[in-house]
Amino acid sequence: MKKKVLLIGLGLIGGSIGLAIRRNQDVLISGYDIKVEQARLAKSLHVIDEIAEDYLVEATSADFIIISTPVSQTEKIIHEFSKLQLRTGVVISDVGSTKSQIVEASTCLYQEKVYFIGGHPMAGSHKSGVGSSKAHLFENAFYILTPTEHTPRAYVESLKELLSGTKANFIEMTAREHDEIAGLISHFPHIIAASLVHNVAGYVNERHNISRLAAGGFRDITRIASSNPAMWRDILIHNREQLLAMFDAWKVEMDHVKEMIESLNETSIYHYFESAKAFRDGLPQKAKGAIPAFYDLFVDVPDYPGVISEVTGVLAIQEISITNIRIIEAREDIYGVLRLSFQTEEDREEARRCLEDENYETYISS
């Protein structure tokens, strides 16, 4: 008899998990989404086998349950499950970006042989919705699992086996360790990006040209400030303890930089940026991390009508999908620059090859 999997939340992550599970598992996947049209689309795309009209009813017969909803909603669903008679041996997991509060909430599930294993696939996309789901979304990405000391190894391994089609790199750690690491490399950088945007926005009314000037490099380094506001509200509230400690450390860091500038300490300033550059340049370039990577390709193009459609036409013929396109610079009598963004590194490399075959100059920023 096929194992039954219940997916709650059929967006990009939930949908991609469904497709990945199908790669090498013979299971029956039931799916629920608060938006009925998303559930119908998921079924038409073969992400799920059947639509769950009521996830609480479906949960009682599921062997695996994966909750792919905002973290605040995940907590509510867990508490709802605590009132149900779930199947013996059911494994419940989530995909939330914070873990401590959710794992703590899951203690209400400690019925006989009901196991909650926190999960966080560290991959994403600039697109959203089940229509953008990809079975390969998590390939080579880190997939964090946070079992507790009460979780038998057999159930952790069964979840890994279910998710083996993701081809992700599974790492186990405590919920607290996860939240500290995610805070450092994802949550706090998003706060900084948003604060930089607010800082510039405060000058817009006084200095009208600032928006136009900020459209270049500033817009690039603050890209992550365009993330979903509701999602980040929930993440910051759930990871409050870790982030508050990071604010204190950040203030010390900024005071250090301020002191170097005030004292005109040229040597210290130089070494500060030198060491930052060395660490940043040593980070893996091809590995997927907590923040979705931007696979950008820059193309030099002559400034004449129709050139953008020519470039996109070359890629369309090869069925290479572009997630974003932006004109960096285009002035009369000089070459302009197009920045093309792709979902994967493979798409970017294929696009580069095709465009260079057509004699376009391309380059990738490190």
Q: What is the DSSP string of 49-67?
A: SEE-S-HHHHHTT-SEEEE
- Asked if residue 289 is part of any domain, the answer here is no
Q: Kind and range of the H or E element at 142?
A: strand 142-146
Residues 249 and 321 in one domain: no
**Is 350 found in the same domain as 333?**
yes
Judgement on whether residues 167 and 231 belong to the same structural domain of the protein = no
* CATH number of domain containing 248: 1.10.3660.10
Rounded alpha-carbon distances, angstroms, from residue 359 to 182, 326, 352, 353, 362: 42, 20, 10, 10, 9
Contacts of 177 (CB under 8 A, 6+ apart): none
DSSP-based three-state secondary structure for 107: helix
Q: In CATH, what number is assigned to the domain containing residue 144?
A: 3.40.50.720
Residues 223 and 113 in one domain: no
Q: At what angle do helices 240-262 and 175-182 cross, to 10 degrees?
A: 30
Bridge-based pairing state of the strands 295-301 and 361-363: antiparallel
Are 163 and 48 in a shared domain? yes
Residue 299: helix, strand or coil by DSSP? strand
Task: Say whether both 9 and 153 belong to one domain.
Answer: yes
Which residues in the chain land under pLDDT 70?
111, 125-127, 204-209, 212-213, 215-216, 285-294, 303, 328-336, 365-366
Does residue 290 lie within any of the structural domains? Answer: no
Confidence (pLDDT) at 251: 95
Question: For residues 347 and 295, is the Cβ–Cβ distance under 8 A?
Answer: yes
Task: Write down the pLDDT at residue 221.
Answer: 82
- The answer to whether position 199 is within a domain reads yes
Give 157-215 pLDDT, tens digit per residue: 999 999 999 999 999 999 999 999 999 989 999 999 999 999 888 776 666 667 766 76
Residue ending a domain, choose from 172, 196, 214:
172
The count of other CB atoms within 10 Å of the CB of residue 138 is 24
What is the domain count for the chain?
A: 3
Buried b (16+ CB within 10 A) or exposed e, 27-63: bebbbbbeeeebbebbbeeebbbebbeebeebbeebb
Q: What is the pLDDT of residue 335?
A: 57
249 and 208 within one domain = yes
Q: Which domain holds residue 142?
A: 3-172
The structure tokens 């360790």 sit at 177
**Do both 31 and 149 map to the same domain?**
yes
Residue 87 CB-density burial (10 A; 0-12 exposed, 13-18 middle, 19+ buried): middle
What angle in degrees, to the nearest 10, is found between the helix axes of 71-81 and 229-238? 60
